Chains A and B, each alone.
Chain A
Amino acid sequence: MNVALTPPRGAAAAAKGPGAAREPVLRIVNGNKIYGGVHAIEDVSFDLFPGEVHALVGENGAGKSTLCKAIAGAIQLTSGDFQVDGKPARFESPRDALAAGICMVYQETSLVPTMTAAQNIELGNEKLITRFRTLNIQAQQLLQSLNFHVDPATPIGMLGTAKRQMVEIARAVYNNARIIIFDEPTASLTPEEIVHFFNLVRDLRARGVAIIYISHALEESLQVSDRITVLRDGKLVITADTADMTREKLVRFMIGRDISQTHYSHRAGHAERRRERRGKVLTVENVTMGTTVKNMSFSIYAGEVVGIAGLIGSGRTEIAKIIFGALKRNLIDGGTIRLHGRPVRYNVPKQAINDGIAYITEDRKLNGFFETMVVDDNVYIGKLATRAGWRFLLSMATRGKLANYWVDRLKIGTLQRKAKIVELSGGNQQKVVIAKSLVQDPRIIIFDEPTRGVDVGTIPEIHAQIRALADEGKAVVVISSYLPEVLSISDRILVARMGRIVAEFDAADATEDKIMYAAIH
């Protein structure tokens, strides 16, 4: 690969791979960050060598983000030694960190959507007079040298996530970054893009750039990193060479207990545990909506868990919302949806809820709960919003009873009853969102990414709840982008691709490869 740029600082001293003796480019000793009396990170020591990919793993609340924000200058450590190239350093703002060669690529990329790629690369370094031609040519050279196929004159708003990441990386390289921190970089990438991304990481590493890689995908971290650090509850658990680590060990370090029967191993016993499928409750016939859903057809039965797999953008969330009434299918030739044989058309979710349909949203922060309210209120509102459960005057007794029942049944962390829902962990929030829907006594429940942003310990609890619902005779649909989850939890698997259902598998016959083959376009 041709490198037409000046190599990053320190490249001369960089080794080509791990194991060579060299100076750490970054070192934190006994770092602490305290927020209001509570430690976000406590006595964490961390070091980073040039040309190394260092993965950082841990559950929600473990402190990974805090540590990286401190490194990138977005926040300051309360105490501890912070050394860059062996000399103590203090960053008051991300600008200082950038000047020292440290750049963070955020999960939600921090680019300006209305500006072009070239302008974004230049962001922060603009000259007094900008000559667009020079700017674009410069950017073009940079992008080509990195083997990125991005047109520098495109506004960011028109680029997909993968290309946006490329622009961010190009910007980091342009700023001569010696340390790049990636925060969940592959969350919204397709598999091919992930492969390409790993190649990028390897290229950066070959140039002597040190990389910190935060990811919840343990397999990825194991694949691409040289060393792994595990954080738990703000403390350092272990830093080890990746070669010595396995997924099971990582999980054990992350949660501190053994998940002996991992949540994804249920498939083994699937054949014996096979549920009986009861009657057909819902049929979707040739439903069409705009360009995202095209002639989708499938059926849902009571007492069964149907998993819907597929890439992001294949129309799964859209069809779920159409069934729920949050979106409307085309008025003309939009197809039919039948509930127990009767054609239905919902204009608002309220109507669907009254007919016994529940939908657990994939983005709970956006439209899942009420952030200023406590757990009890969130659950109670779910009840009040039903025809049967509504009463004009609030009843604190009912509220308390309902809350206690659901906290108990879903095992929502009791330490946090008085806290506003925003303060709960992702797993507990998800449980509250589920409780808010289940309290409406639905007969059909659609889960959209039920374990997204949920910590490893809570995932099996949510899965158990899903299975219990099907055992009770409800019709359950689980939309998930994580194949092991789809495989372990479903009785039947549908695969969506570009707005259609293209394949249907019985759980016993399905494999990851078959599903992926059907899902890819």
Chain B
Amino acid sequence: MTWQIMPGLLVPDTRTQPFAPGGRRMSASANSAPPRLRGQVAKSAAFKPSQEQIVLLITLLLLVVFSVALPGFSSIANLLNLMRSISILGILSLGMGLIVISRGIDLSEVAIMAGSWSVALIEIQKGMPVFWAASIAVGIAVAIGLANGAMVAFIEAPALFVTLAAGFVIYGVAFWFAPAWVVYGPKDAPGLLFLGAGHIFGIPVPILVFAAAAVLMHLFLSRTSTGRFIYSQGDNPESARMAGIALRPLIVLEYVIVALVAWLAGLVWIGTTGSMQMAITQGTMVFDVILVVVLGGISLVGGRGGVFSVVVGCALIGTLLNAFTIMDINSEVQNIIRGVVLLAAIILDNWLHPRDEETARQGD
């Protein structure tokens, strides 16, 4: 009689992912992956475009359609406007992208942007030098990031609720400091306003800031060990922990980075509009950011996607939102369209990464 026989086998998930960190595109081969065969590698059957490629294509299509159909869309003024609004959305999405890759989320990102800068602007109105006010804004942002990170990492509260609650608290506290829906910035602080209002060689600075931030983020995620750790955390936090990665400090760092990115976005915002509106914390902006991230290809599951995904998603959403403004579509309809687009993104994600019995784990 034989005793404890070797326990059964576990066949790992044969889902393959089309996104390498840094946004290098590879064609998806999820549905065509066979169950593991010894010595053989899954080959993709039909060409399945990556999510980023699809979104890019749709964006180009929309650009063409809108230039033709909407008067004023392709005017220089509007295109510059488009680029400016994309920049702010894009910078915010870079931060959100990082945190989603790590399998977290930060619903307080927009609140951090508005809250930290509202306080700073009020101080400037009261006479504080711009540099110190900006530093206070940094301090506030970092403090919130630390608090969020500490709660998620050490108290192990779910990120969704921690950051949601944090958003409300920030709104409340900032409003108490700066009891106005709109806080106006100084009219003549060139240092402060340059990032938002300036031009270099005719290109609006916001887009350059976005580009620089994107490049930095890309290098950080794909060329540094910390970036690699963020991906491994998103892929499998338990594996990361067992491999010896210090997860808790990493999580705190991630939330601080998001907060700093939000601060940067705020700086550009002030340059473009000359003010900071607390109203946006109550609006749907943060969901636009999440929409960009998910649509662009960074799955909420974590461990996938990169800066290219953010850029591509941002281009699409920015174009759409710009067209909505021109078409003067009222906000309810806008929300419906946003919701539909998000649904479409999720369905697309499911089509590209099907989860069915063939990819489920069973003995072989």
Contact = CB atoms under 8 A, between A and B. Distances in A.
Interface of A: 34-38, 40, 59-66, 69, 74-75, 106-108, 183-184, 186-188, 190-191, 194-195, 214-217, 219-220, 233-234, 311-312, 324, 326, 348-350, 353-354, 359, 361, 363-373, 377, 380-382, 384-386, 390-394, 413, 415-416, 418-426, 429, 436, 440, 449, 451-453, 455, 481-483, 485, 512, 516
Given A191-B4, A382-B243, A59 B228 contact: no
Nearest to B44: A36
Nearest to A366: B238
Interface string B91-110: 00000000000000000000
Contact of B362 (A107, A220, A350): A107
Nearest to A59: B38
Contacts of A368: 239, 242
Given A386-B244, A418-B41, A516-B3, A187 B8 contact: yes
Interface stretch (B10-18, B60-68, B120-128, B132-140): B10-18
Contact of B232 (A187, A349, A370): A370
Given A233-B38, A348-B241, A35 B12 contact: no
Contacts of A415: 39-41
B353 to A, nearest CB: 11
Contact of A40 (B1, B34, B240): B34
Contact of A452 (B6, B37, B43, B247): B6
A377 B228 contact: yes
B349 interface: no
Contacts of A449: 7
B83 to A, nearest CB: 32
Given A69-B357, A426-B9, A481-B6, A382 B244 contact: yes
A369 B10 CA distance: 14
A65 B35 contact: yes
B147 to A, nearest CB: 22
Given A38-B34, A38-B40, A61-B37, A422 B245 contact: no
Determine which residue in B1, B35, B224, B303 has the highest number of CB atoms from chain A within 10 A of its CB, and name it.
Answer: B35
Interface in B336-358: 357-358
A349 B244 CA distance: 6
A385 B243 contact: yes
Interface string B233-276: 00110111111111110000000000000000000000000000
Contacts of A59: 38
A183 B38 contact: no
Contacts of A37: 32, 43, 45
Contact of B12 (A365, A381, A393): A365
Given A36-B34, A481-B7, A367 B236 contact: yes
Contact of B235 (A63, A184, A373, A390): A373
Nearest to B9: A453
Contacts of A65: 11, 35, 362-364
Interface string B16-44: 11000000000001011111111111111
Nearest to B247: A348
Contact of B229 (A384, A391, A485): A384
A110 to B, nearest CB: 10
Given A38-B43, A61-B38, 9 more contacts: A36-B29, A38-B34, A65-B363, A107-B8, A220-B5, A311-B4, A369-B236, A422-B16, A424-B36
17 contacts: A35-B35, A60-B36, A66-B35, A187-B5, A191-B3, A312-B4, A348-B248, A354-B244, A381-B243, A385-B229, A385-B243, A394-B228, A422-B12, A423-B33, A425-B37, A440-B244, A451-B6
B239 A367 contact: yes
Contacts of B41: 415-416, 418-419, 423
B239 A369 contact: yes
A420 B17 contact: yes
A434 to B, nearest CB: 13
A262 to B, nearest CB: 14
A40 B43 contact: no
A299 B174 CA distance: 59
Contact of B36 (A61, A452, A516): A61
Contacts, number: 242
A423 B304 CA distance: 17
B38 A455 contact: yes
B232 A423 contact: no
B75 interface: no
Contacts of A348: 241, 246-248
B358 A35 contact: yes
A349 B241 contact: yes
A452 B5 CA distance: 10
A233 to B, nearest CB: 7
Contact of B32 (A35, A64, A363, A386): A35
B14 A36 contact: no
Q: 9 closest A-B pairs (Cβ-Cβ)?
A: A36-B32, A35-B34, A187-B8, A184-B8, A385-B244, A453-B9, A217-B5, A367-B238, A36-B45
Nearest to A391: B225
Given A183-B362, A423-B33, A482 B5 contact: yes
Contacts of A326: 241-242
Contacts of A425: 36-39
Nearest to A94: B357
Contact of B224 (A394, A453, A481): A394
Interface string B130-154: 0000000000000000000000000
Nearest to B358: A75
A216 B8 contact: yes
Given A216-B6, A219-B2, A385-B244, A390 B225 contact: yes
B226 interface: yes
B225 A394 contact: yes
B363 A423 contact: no
Nearest to B219: A393
B253 to A, nearest CB: 13
Given A187-B8, A233-B38, A453-B8, A370 B235 contact: yes
A381 B45 CA distance: 31
A237 to B, nearest CB: 14
B223 interface: yes
A184 B43 CA distance: 29
Contacts of B5: 186-187, 194, 215-217, 219-220, 482
B249 to A, nearest CB: 10
B9 A381 contact: no
B33 A191 contact: no
B251 to A, nearest CB: 13
A220 B2 CA distance: 8
A437 B205 CA distance: 47
B199 interface: no
Contacts of B40: 38, 61, 415
B19 to A, nearest CB: 8
